[in-house]
Amino acid sequence: MALRGNAKDEIYYTQVVVLVAVIVFSTGFLAAARLLTPVAGTAAWISVVLGGLVGLAIAWLVGSVSFAFPEQNLVRIAEDVFSKPIGKVIGLTFALYCAIILVLGTREFVLAISISFLEKTPLVVTTGVFVILAAYAAYLGIEAIARVCFIFFGVVIASITILVIFAIPVSVPARLLPLAGKGLLPVARGGLLAASYAGEAIVSLAFLRHLKDKRSVSRAVGTGVAIGMGIITLAVAFGVMMLGSGGISQVTYPIIQTARTVGAGEFLDRGEILFLSLWFSVAILKLASVFYAAVTAISDLFNIANYRRLILPFGIALMVVSSVSETVVESFVGVEYFLRYGVWYAIGLSGLLAIGSYMSGRRKGGRENGNTE
Protein backbone atom coordinates (compact mmCIF):
# COMPACT_ATOMS: atom_id res chain seq x y z
CA MET A 1 0.00 0.00 0.00
CA ALA A 2 1.56 3.27 -1.07
CA LEU A 3 1.81 6.04 1.48
CA ARG A 4 -0.02 9.25 0.71
CA GLY A 5 1.37 12.74 0.87
CA ASN A 6 5.07 12.81 1.59
CA ALA A 7 5.87 9.11 1.40
CA LYS A 8 9.62 9.55 1.76
CA ASP A 9 9.43 11.22 5.17
CA GLU A 10 11.57 9.44 7.74
CA ILE A 11 11.67 10.17 11.43
CA TYR A 12 13.89 8.66 14.08
CA TYR A 13 13.48 7.30 17.59
CA THR A 14 14.48 10.50 19.42
CA GLN A 15 12.27 12.59 17.15
CA VAL A 16 9.23 10.43 17.94
CA VAL A 17 10.03 10.72 21.66
CA VAL A 18 10.11 14.51 21.40
CA LEU A 19 7.00 14.74 19.18
CA VAL A 20 4.96 12.64 21.61
CA ALA A 21 6.30 14.57 24.62
CA VAL A 22 5.32 17.89 23.03
CA ILE A 23 1.85 16.63 22.12
CA VAL A 24 1.34 15.39 25.69
CA PHE A 25 2.67 18.25 27.79
CA SER A 26 2.15 21.51 25.92
CA THR A 27 -1.54 21.91 26.87
CA GLY A 28 -1.35 20.21 30.27
CA PHE A 29 1.69 22.27 31.27
CA LEU A 30 -0.47 25.36 30.92
CA ALA A 31 -3.76 24.36 32.51
CA ALA A 32 -3.43 21.06 34.43
CA ALA A 33 -2.95 22.66 37.86
CA ARG A 34 -6.03 24.85 37.42
CA LEU A 35 -8.19 21.88 36.37
CA LEU A 36 -6.86 19.13 38.66
CA THR A 37 -6.38 20.95 41.97
CA PRO A 38 -10.14 21.44 42.59
CA VAL A 39 -10.54 17.66 42.16
CA ALA A 40 -7.52 16.23 44.00
CA GLY A 41 -6.36 19.17 46.15
CA THR A 42 -2.74 19.13 47.23
CA ALA A 43 -2.30 15.68 45.63
CA ALA A 44 -3.00 16.94 42.12
CA TRP A 45 0.58 16.10 41.14
CA ILE A 46 -0.01 12.47 42.20
CA SER A 47 -3.04 12.43 39.90
CA VAL A 48 -0.72 13.39 37.05
CA VAL A 49 1.60 10.50 37.91
CA LEU A 50 -1.35 8.09 37.91
CA GLY A 51 -2.50 9.52 34.59
CA GLY A 52 0.99 8.91 33.25
CA LEU A 53 0.73 5.22 34.13
CA VAL A 54 -2.48 4.98 32.12
CA GLY A 55 -0.67 6.79 29.32
CA LEU A 56 2.14 4.23 29.34
CA ALA A 57 -0.42 1.46 28.85
CA ILE A 58 -1.91 3.37 25.90
CA ALA A 59 1.61 3.87 24.50
CA TRP A 60 2.25 0.12 24.65
CA LEU A 61 -1.02 -0.59 22.83
CA VAL A 62 -0.25 2.05 20.17
CA GLY A 63 3.22 0.60 19.71
CA SER A 64 1.82 -2.92 19.34
CA VAL A 65 -0.54 -1.80 16.59
CA SER A 66 2.15 0.13 14.74
CA PHE A 67 4.60 -2.77 15.03
CA ALA A 68 2.04 -5.18 13.58
CA PHE A 69 1.32 -2.86 10.62
CA PRO A 70 4.58 -0.92 10.17
CA GLU A 71 3.81 0.63 6.77
CA GLN A 72 0.09 1.24 7.11
CA ASN A 73 -1.92 4.32 8.01
CA LEU A 74 -4.63 4.19 10.66
CA VAL A 75 -7.54 3.84 8.23
CA ARG A 76 -5.91 0.93 6.36
CA ILE A 77 -5.02 -0.77 9.66
CA ALA A 78 -8.63 -0.57 10.82
CA GLU A 79 -9.89 -1.82 7.44
CA ASP A 80 -7.48 -4.76 7.46
CA VAL A 81 -8.26 -5.68 11.05
CA PHE A 82 -12.04 -5.32 10.89
CA SER A 83 -13.75 -4.34 7.63
CA LYS A 84 -13.81 -1.44 5.21
CA PRO A 85 -16.95 0.22 6.68
CA ILE A 86 -15.69 -0.13 10.25
CA GLY A 87 -12.28 1.15 9.18
CA LYS A 88 -13.90 4.25 7.69
CA VAL A 89 -15.84 4.88 10.90
CA ILE A 90 -12.70 4.52 13.01
CA GLY A 91 -10.81 6.86 10.70
CA LEU A 92 -13.61 9.41 10.94
CA THR A 93 -13.64 9.30 14.75
CA PHE A 94 -9.86 9.69 14.79
CA ALA A 95 -10.02 12.76 12.54
CA LEU A 96 -12.76 14.20 14.77
CA TYR A 97 -10.68 13.50 17.89
CA CYS A 98 -7.72 15.36 16.36
CA ALA A 99 -10.01 18.24 15.34
CA ILE A 100 -11.29 18.59 18.92
CA ILE A 101 -7.72 18.68 20.25
CA LEU A 102 -6.90 21.37 17.68
CA VAL A 103 -9.89 23.55 18.51
CA LEU A 104 -9.45 23.30 22.29
CA GLY A 105 -5.67 23.68 22.05
CA THR A 106 -5.89 26.72 19.78
CA ARG A 107 -8.41 28.39 22.10
CA GLU A 108 -6.26 27.66 25.14
CA PHE A 109 -3.04 28.92 23.57
CA VAL A 110 -4.64 32.04 22.11
CA LEU A 111 -6.30 33.00 25.39
CA ALA A 112 -3.07 32.48 27.35
CA ILE A 113 -1.10 34.71 24.99
CA SER A 114 -3.86 37.32 24.83
CA ILE A 115 -4.30 37.55 28.60
CA SER A 116 -0.56 37.76 29.22
CA PHE A 117 0.70 40.01 26.41
CA LEU A 118 -1.79 40.91 23.70
CA GLU A 119 -4.85 42.17 25.57
CA LYS A 120 -5.67 44.77 22.91
CA THR A 121 -5.17 42.44 19.96
CA PRO A 122 -8.41 40.88 18.62
CA LEU A 123 -8.56 37.17 19.36
CA VAL A 124 -9.29 36.41 15.72
CA VAL A 125 -5.92 37.91 14.75
CA THR A 126 -4.01 35.85 17.33
CA THR A 127 -5.98 32.77 16.31
CA GLY A 128 -5.06 33.41 12.68
CA VAL A 129 -1.35 33.56 13.52
CA PHE A 130 -1.48 30.22 15.36
CA VAL A 131 -3.48 28.48 12.63
CA ILE A 132 -1.38 29.83 9.74
CA LEU A 133 1.90 28.79 11.38
CA ALA A 134 0.55 25.35 12.31
CA ALA A 135 -0.90 24.84 8.81
CA TYR A 136 2.37 25.84 7.15
CA ALA A 137 4.35 23.46 9.33
CA ALA A 138 1.89 20.65 8.54
CA TYR A 139 2.30 21.45 4.84
CA LEU A 140 6.07 20.93 5.14
CA GLY A 141 5.47 17.43 6.49
CA ILE A 142 6.09 15.39 9.60
CA GLU A 143 9.84 15.12 9.00
CA ALA A 144 10.20 18.92 9.04
CA ILE A 145 8.00 19.19 12.14
CA ALA A 146 10.04 16.51 13.90
CA ARG A 147 13.36 18.21 13.12
CA VAL A 148 12.25 21.63 14.39
CA CYS A 149 10.60 20.03 17.41
CA PHE A 150 13.82 18.23 18.32
CA ILE A 151 15.83 21.47 18.14
CA PHE A 152 13.39 23.49 20.23
CA PHE A 153 12.82 20.78 22.80
CA GLY A 154 16.37 20.95 24.11
CA VAL A 155 16.03 24.70 24.62
CA VAL A 156 12.67 24.22 26.34
CA ILE A 157 14.06 21.62 28.74
CA ALA A 158 16.98 23.91 29.58
CA SER A 159 14.59 26.82 30.19
CA ILE A 160 12.30 24.73 32.40
CA THR A 161 15.36 23.64 34.38
CA ILE A 162 16.35 27.29 34.90
CA LEU A 163 12.84 28.22 36.05
CA VAL A 164 12.76 25.25 38.45
CA ILE A 165 16.14 26.23 39.94
CA PHE A 166 14.95 29.76 40.62
CA ALA A 167 11.54 28.57 41.81
CA ILE A 168 12.94 26.33 44.55
CA PRO A 169 13.85 29.17 46.99
CA VAL A 170 10.34 30.66 46.83
CA SER A 171 8.52 27.32 47.04
CA VAL A 172 6.89 25.95 50.19
CA PRO A 173 6.95 22.11 50.12
CA ALA A 174 4.60 21.98 53.12
CA ARG A 175 1.82 23.15 50.80
CA LEU A 176 1.90 19.69 49.20
CA LEU A 177 0.52 18.28 52.46
CA PRO A 178 -1.57 16.28 53.06
CA LEU A 179 -0.11 13.94 50.46
CA ALA A 180 -3.46 12.23 49.96
CA GLY A 181 -5.06 15.57 49.10
CA LYS A 182 -8.83 15.30 49.16
CA GLY A 183 -8.71 11.51 49.48
CA LEU A 184 -7.83 8.44 47.45
CA LEU A 185 -10.98 8.48 45.31
CA PRO A 186 -10.64 12.15 44.26
CA VAL A 187 -6.95 11.56 43.49
CA ALA A 188 -7.88 8.56 41.32
CA ARG A 189 -10.57 10.62 39.61
CA GLY A 190 -7.99 13.31 38.96
CA GLY A 191 -5.72 10.60 37.56
CA LEU A 192 -8.30 9.73 34.92
CA LEU A 193 -8.61 13.41 33.98
CA ALA A 194 -4.83 13.75 33.74
CA ALA A 195 -4.68 10.57 31.65
CA SER A 196 -6.43 12.44 28.85
CA TYR A 197 -3.25 14.48 28.35
CA ALA A 198 -1.23 11.27 28.06
CA GLY A 199 -3.94 9.74 25.88
CA GLU A 200 -3.24 12.33 23.21
CA ALA A 201 -0.19 10.22 22.38
CA ILE A 202 -2.61 8.18 20.28
CA VAL A 203 -2.24 10.95 17.69
CA SER A 204 1.15 9.39 16.94
CA LEU A 205 -0.67 6.63 15.01
CA ALA A 206 -0.76 9.16 12.17
CA PHE A 207 3.02 9.35 11.81
CA LEU A 208 4.54 6.20 13.35
CA ARG A 209 4.57 4.60 9.88
CA HIS A 210 7.42 7.02 9.11
CA LEU A 211 9.56 5.77 12.03
CA LYS A 212 12.73 4.27 10.58
CA ASP A 213 13.30 1.62 13.28
CA LYS A 214 9.90 -0.01 13.88
CA ARG A 215 11.30 -2.31 16.58
CA SER A 216 11.53 0.58 19.05
CA VAL A 217 8.07 2.04 18.46
CA SER A 218 6.50 1.19 21.85
CA ARG A 219 9.56 2.40 23.71
CA ALA A 220 9.64 5.65 21.75
CA VAL A 221 5.97 6.48 22.40
CA GLY A 222 6.22 5.38 26.04
CA THR A 223 9.32 7.49 26.66
CA GLY A 224 7.59 10.50 25.12
CA VAL A 225 4.56 10.01 27.37
CA ALA A 226 6.79 9.66 30.45
CA ILE A 227 8.71 12.86 29.66
CA GLY A 228 5.56 14.81 28.83
CA MET A 229 3.71 13.75 31.97
CA GLY A 230 6.85 14.33 34.04
CA ILE A 231 6.92 17.96 32.89
CA ILE A 232 3.22 18.37 33.75
CA THR A 233 3.90 16.85 37.18
CA LEU A 234 6.60 19.47 37.80
CA ALA A 235 4.29 22.28 36.70
CA VAL A 236 1.47 21.13 38.99
CA ALA A 237 3.73 20.45 41.98
CA PHE A 238 5.49 23.82 41.79
CA GLY A 239 2.17 25.54 41.19
CA VAL A 240 0.86 24.13 44.47
CA MET A 241 4.10 24.83 46.35
CA MET A 242 4.25 28.45 45.18
CA LEU A 243 0.58 29.45 45.05
CA GLY A 244 -1.10 26.93 47.34
CA SER A 245 -4.01 24.73 46.30
CA GLY A 246 -6.40 27.56 47.18
CA GLY A 247 -4.36 30.21 45.38
CA ILE A 248 -4.31 28.21 42.15
CA SER A 249 -8.07 28.60 41.81
CA GLN A 250 -7.64 32.38 41.89
CA VAL A 251 -5.53 32.56 38.73
CA THR A 252 -6.40 31.55 35.18
CA TYR A 253 -3.09 29.97 34.20
CA PRO A 254 -1.08 28.96 37.30
CA ILE A 255 2.12 28.16 35.40
CA ILE A 256 2.28 31.69 33.99
CA GLN A 257 1.76 33.12 37.46
CA THR A 258 4.41 30.73 38.79
CA ALA A 259 6.90 31.94 36.17
CA ARG A 260 5.94 35.54 36.97
CA THR A 261 6.53 34.93 40.68
CA VAL A 262 10.03 33.62 40.14
CA GLY A 263 12.39 36.45 41.02
CA ALA A 264 16.07 36.21 40.20
CA GLY A 265 17.24 39.77 40.16
CA GLU A 266 18.84 41.01 36.99
CA PHE A 267 19.43 37.54 35.55
CA LEU A 268 15.79 36.58 35.19
CA ASP A 269 13.79 39.74 35.65
CA ARG A 270 10.54 38.49 34.12
CA GLY A 271 10.30 34.71 34.09
CA GLU A 272 6.98 34.67 32.26
CA ILE A 273 8.53 36.28 29.17
CA LEU A 274 11.09 33.48 28.88
CA PHE A 275 8.41 30.88 29.53
CA LEU A 276 5.82 32.23 27.09
CA SER A 277 8.31 32.85 24.31
CA LEU A 278 9.47 29.24 24.33
CA TRP A 279 6.07 27.81 25.09
CA PHE A 280 4.62 29.67 22.05
CA SER A 281 7.01 27.71 19.80
CA VAL A 282 6.09 24.41 21.47
CA ALA A 283 2.37 25.22 21.16
CA ILE A 284 2.74 25.79 17.41
CA LEU A 285 4.60 22.48 17.04
CA LYS A 286 1.86 20.59 18.89
CA LEU A 287 -0.84 22.17 16.75
CA ALA A 288 1.20 21.38 13.61
CA SER A 289 1.59 17.71 14.62
CA VAL A 290 -2.11 17.26 15.35
CA PHE A 291 -3.04 19.28 12.23
CA TYR A 292 -0.91 16.88 10.18
CA ALA A 293 -2.59 13.89 11.86
CA ALA A 294 -6.07 15.25 11.13
CA VAL A 295 -5.56 16.07 7.45
CA THR A 296 -3.67 12.85 6.68
CA ALA A 297 -6.46 10.85 8.34
CA ILE A 298 -9.07 12.67 6.24
CA SER A 299 -7.04 12.17 3.05
CA ASP A 300 -6.71 8.45 3.78
CA LEU A 301 -10.41 8.28 4.59
CA PHE A 302 -11.49 9.75 1.25
CA ASN A 303 -8.59 8.42 -0.86
CA ILE A 304 -7.17 11.88 -1.59
CA ALA A 305 -3.75 11.40 -3.14
CA ASN A 306 -2.06 14.36 -1.43
CA TYR A 307 -3.07 15.51 2.05
CA ARG A 308 -1.76 19.02 1.29
CA ARG A 309 -4.90 19.72 -0.75
CA LEU A 310 -6.82 19.71 2.53
CA ILE A 311 -4.56 22.16 4.39
CA LEU A 312 -6.31 25.36 3.25
CA PRO A 313 -9.96 24.31 3.74
CA PHE A 314 -9.19 22.55 7.02
CA GLY A 315 -7.20 25.56 8.27
CA ILE A 316 -10.06 27.94 7.46
CA ALA A 317 -12.54 25.67 9.25
CA LEU A 318 -10.23 25.44 12.26
CA MET A 319 -9.86 29.20 12.45
CA VAL A 320 -13.62 29.78 12.25
CA VAL A 321 -14.52 27.18 14.89
CA SER A 322 -11.67 28.21 17.22
CA SER A 323 -12.83 31.82 17.10
CA VAL A 324 -16.37 30.99 18.26
CA SER A 325 -15.43 30.85 21.95
CA GLU A 326 -13.99 34.10 23.20
CA THR A 327 -14.04 33.66 26.97
CA VAL A 328 -11.79 31.81 29.37
CA VAL A 329 -14.80 30.20 31.04
CA GLU A 330 -16.04 28.69 27.77
CA SER A 331 -12.55 27.43 27.00
CA PHE A 332 -12.15 25.75 30.39
CA VAL A 333 -15.59 24.12 30.12
CA GLY A 334 -14.57 22.60 26.77
CA VAL A 335 -11.26 21.35 28.15
CA GLU A 336 -12.94 19.84 31.22
CA TYR A 337 -15.37 17.88 29.05
CA PHE A 338 -12.49 16.65 26.89
CA LEU A 339 -10.47 15.59 29.94
CA ARG A 340 -13.48 13.71 31.26
CA TYR A 341 -14.11 11.68 28.11
CA GLY A 342 -10.99 11.94 25.93
CA VAL A 343 -9.07 9.27 27.82
CA TRP A 344 -11.83 6.72 27.21
CA TYR A 345 -11.57 7.28 23.48
CA ALA A 346 -7.79 6.83 23.60
CA ILE A 347 -8.07 3.66 25.68
CA GLY A 348 -10.92 2.31 23.56
CA LEU A 349 -9.31 2.96 20.17
CA SER A 350 -5.83 1.73 21.10
CA GLY A 351 -7.24 -1.33 22.88
CA LEU A 352 -9.63 -2.18 20.04
CA LEU A 353 -6.90 -1.88 17.39
CA ALA A 354 -4.41 -3.86 19.50
CA ILE A 355 -6.85 -6.72 20.05
CA GLY A 356 -7.87 -6.63 16.40
CA SER A 357 -4.23 -6.66 15.30
CA TYR A 358 -3.51 -9.66 17.50
CA MET A 359 -6.52 -11.59 16.20
CA SER A 360 -5.68 -10.63 12.62
CA GLY A 361 -2.13 -11.92 13.10
CA ARG A 362 -3.45 -15.21 14.46
CA ARG A 363 -5.84 -15.60 11.50
CA LYS A 364 -3.03 -14.95 9.03
CA GLY A 365 -0.76 -17.36 10.89
CA GLY A 366 -3.45 -20.02 10.80
CA ARG A 367 -3.96 -19.61 7.05
CA GLU A 368 -0.21 -19.81 6.41
CA ASN A 369 0.07 -23.00 8.47
CA GLY A 370 -2.88 -24.45 6.60
CA ASN A 371 -1.30 -23.67 3.24
CA THR A 372 2.00 -25.21 4.37
CA GLU A 373 0.31 -28.43 5.35
Q: Identify the CA nearest to 25 among candidates 51, 7, 60, 43.
A: 51
Is residue 4 a part of any domain in this protein? no
At 265, give phi and psi (nearest 5°): 65, -135
Dump the DSSP string for 245-306. HHHHTTSS-HHHHHHHH--BTTTBS-HHHHHHHHHHHHHHHHHHHHHHHHHHHHHHHTT-S-
Is residue 368 a part of any domain in this protein? no
Q: What is the CATH number of the domain that holds 226?
A: 1.20.1740.10
- Total domain count, the chain: 1
Is residue 8 a part of any domain in this protein? no
Is residue 7 a part of any domain in this protein? no
Q: Identify the CA nearest to 352 among candidates 151, 87, 100.
A: 87
Amino acid occupying residue 191: G
Average pLDDT over residues 301-318: 94
Long-range contacts of 147-153 (CB under 8 A, 24+ apart): 147/15, 148/285, 149/15, 149/18, 149/19, 149/22, 149/285, 149/289, 150/14, 150/15, 150/18, 152/278, 152/281, 152/282, 152/285, 153/18, 153/21, 153/22, 153/282
Predicted confidence at residue 317, as pLDDT, reads 93
Is residue 105 a part of any domain in this protein? yes
With a threshold of 0.85, does the pTM exceed it?
A: yes
Predicted confidence at residue 210, as pLDDT, reads 92
Is residue 270 a part of any domain in this protein? yes
Is residue 372 a part of any domain in this protein? no
Predicted confidence at residue 372, as pLDDT, reads 41
Is the separation of the CB atoms in 170 and 183 below 8 Å? no
Is the pLDDT score of 169 beyond 80?
Answer: yes
Percent with pLDDT over 70 in the chain = 87
Is residue 373 a part of any domain in this protein? no
Question: Which range marks the domain in which residue 252 is found?
Answer: 13-360
E strand map for the chain: none
CA distance 316 to 313: 5
